[in-house]
Structure 1
């Protein structure tokens, strides 16, 4: 199976190394999250392209310097991965679903909050 493992994805986020986090995503990635609206102002919840994702997550990490994720479970499917984790920012559970391209990078990702 291609693509990042749930353990590496969590480790990248917990490192707060933005370039390490972004290394798992394709240049033309489409990210969906209701949380993005707070920073981007786009009510669609979509962030399109790695430059826009860098700007969004860079600001999100700046606003939450103590953010950590704790992996609960990982589910693999044909061409994708779902990571179920706890977020220290919300105290709630999140499921992040990644769909990988042929090169193993995420071309689409969606976050679902409890």
Structure 2
């Protein structure tokens, strides 16, 4: 079970990593085989399913996104805690977003789902 304290720590680290634009720091939160689903994957990575599998594929997508959005900045609005997941509600470059993160036994993100207003 994820505690509120663990969720808050993850949220701070995740937001700071994205705001640093340091791809290695961003990817450090994820397992090697994690999957990422987002409507933006369809647009930016040209993947019709909206899902990418593994750090290499997602890292390439995020690297491209960071280049396309040099002013990318996230502001955390709220943290929702589940049993094995955390949802971050934040204001991003193009409005409100929520991401749901599922964690493995090593406390790394193994699945993530992005939602946009």
* TM-score category, normalised to shorter length: over 0.9
In structure 2, runs of 5+ residues without a counterpart are: none
Q: What residue number does 1:104 align with?
A: 107
Q: Distance in 2 between matches of 1:95 and 1:60?
A: 17
Task: Quote the offset at 1:110 in angstroms.
Answer: 0.3
What is the TM-score with the length of structure 2 in the denominator? Answer: 0.91
Aligned partner of 1:63 among 68, 93, 100: 68
Greater share of residues in helix:
2
Shift of 1:28: 0.5
Write out per-residue CA displacement over residues 14-41 of structure 1, whole angstroms, 9 at most, x where no aligned residue: 0000000000001110100001112211
Q: Deviation per CA, 1:48-105: give whole Å up to 9, x if none.
A: 10000110000000111110000000111111110000012x1x11000000000010
Distance 1:61 1:51 in 2: 15
Aligned residue pair count: 112
- TM-score normalised by L of structure 1: 0.94
Give ranges in structure 1 of 5+ residues lacking alignment.
none
User: Could you tell me how far apart the structure 2 residues matched to 1:17 and 1:40 are?
Assistant: 19
The yes-or-no answer on 1:19 pairing with 2:41 is no
- What RMSD in Å do the two structures reach over aligned CA positions? 1.2
